[in-house]
Structure 1
């Protein structure tokens, strides 16, 4: 069996932006065991087995994970952020540091040593935006890195939050990392659908 594999930059229309990943288009699903082995062999942050849309974009659907209020804000969280948030929430993945101004998110500096102590939760900083509905930055020292380029999974919490704040169910989002990435978020009753574009950097063949 031969499979075509692409290394792409996802959630962007520009090369060397967004989040790099491996993508494999399948005519029929492989076993979970084989897909896990392929992902391990690729040795990139993510290997995706996806279906592309007619317009060349791709869409992924996840369960909604709306954040909830935090009664006691961890001191390590507040001390680990150079700018104090106006509100702190959390879901099963991360603490949400909410800011009123997107410039605060752009300017934010973090202390990775302090944020690492929040394990198993990461930290996402977010604010409403002029160009987009909202922006974010994702810090994950608790999971092994400083700042992620583009984090699809955290938008399962960001999108429901901003959908409620902005009273809309279709939102544009931008993750303001060094590479940057943007996506469309559509919030349903129980799910969040993320839609984005990608550019191909490299193509090859897998021999199985």
Structure 2
């Protein structure tokens, strides 16, 4: 069976930046094992699979190792593919995930796409010396969300200097570790490490901003925020706190259109 596959750089205005994701638009669901094998073969942070279901699209996301509950950049990439190649006259897409519920993407002016996601609930944690050892630094505060830890540091330079021991970090039971601080030229900066999901450092993590946005909105006293993920490829996002949900805005560009055989 031949399948068309797209590779999209999400949260990017040019290729070779942002976060690459593969997208497969299917007529019907493949076996879970096959989708996991495709994601492993792609060896990207995320491969998204989507099937049209009446007036919405059902969506699932796989890293090279596991299926995850939510992925922002691969949802943005999927919306870009659908808007560009399948439904160019539409302005809104409704997605549904059995793990995360209803998600929406809106096509705006100047090439922007805006995700509408549920917020993450954060709970303050006791200090975690083993996690701090793995990161080589101690944060001011640590929180636990649904799947990730959020560590808050004093300044942007501390975020840049973090050099994790991924062997130790892989022993922390969490999808990922978010490190963040107030930004110098944006409202806040972050990095995201997810060795248990097969990704040492993710370039740009939309889903992490479901934790970051409500936190920084409260700290900075504003609902509209600018953000930058300080990975090697880098990525910029515009976030808005809506209370129970958030908006995450970015652009995407097409890198590859191909065909795979399974």
Q: Which moved more, 1:139-148 or 1:48-57?
A: 48-57
> Given the two structures, how large is their TM-score scaled by the length of structure 2?
0.68
For residues 182 and 40 of structure 1, do their structure 2 counterparts lie closer, same or farther at Cα, with a shift above 3 Å needed? Answer: farther
Give the structure 1 partner of residue 149 of structure 2.
95
The gaps in structure 2 that reach 5 residues or longer are 49-74, 84-106
* Residue 61 of structure 2 corresponds to residue 60 of structure 1: no
1:5-154 to 2 correspondence within 5 Å?
6-23=6-23, 33=29, 41=38, 43=42, 44=44, 45-47=46-48, 48=75, 49-50=78-79, 52=83, 53-55=107-109, 56-70=111-125, 72-154=126-208
* Residue 204 of structure 2 corresponds to residue 203 of structure 1: no
The gaps in structure 1 that reach 5 residues or longer are none
**Do the aligned partners of 1:81 and 1:108 also contact (CA within 8 Å) in 2?**
yes
Q: Which moved more, 1:39-48 or 1:112-121?
A: 39-48
Distance 1:190 1:8 in 2: 29
1:111 CA displacement: 1.2
Q: Larger % of strand: which?
A: 2
Distance 1:96 1:59 in 2: 23
Q: Which moved more, 1:193-202 or 1:42-51?
A: 42-51
1:117-196 to 2 correspondence within 5 Å?
117-196=171-250
Q: How many pairs does the alignment contain?
A: 201
> Given the two structures, how large is their TM-score scaled by the length of structure 1?
0.84
For residues 69 and 181 of structure 1, do their structure 2 counterparts lie closer, same or farther at Cα, with a shift above 3 Å needed? Answer: same
1:164 CA displacement: 0.4
Residue by residue, what CA displacement relative to the aligned partner does 1:119-140 show, whole Å, maximum 9, x if unpaired? 1342111001121111100011
Distance 2:234 2:129 in 1: 29
Residue by residue, what CA displacement relative to the aligned partner does 1:130-174 show, whole Å, maximum 9, x if unpaired? 211111000112222211111111110001000000111111111
Q: Which has the higher contact order (CA 8 A, sep 6+)?
A: 1
**Do the aligned partners of 1:57 and 1:195 also contact (CA within 8 Å) in 2?**
yes
Q: CA RMSD in A?
A: 2.6
Residue by residue, what CA displacement relative to the aligned partner does 1:89-134 show, whole Å, maximum 9, x if unpaired? 1111211110111010011111112211111342111001121111
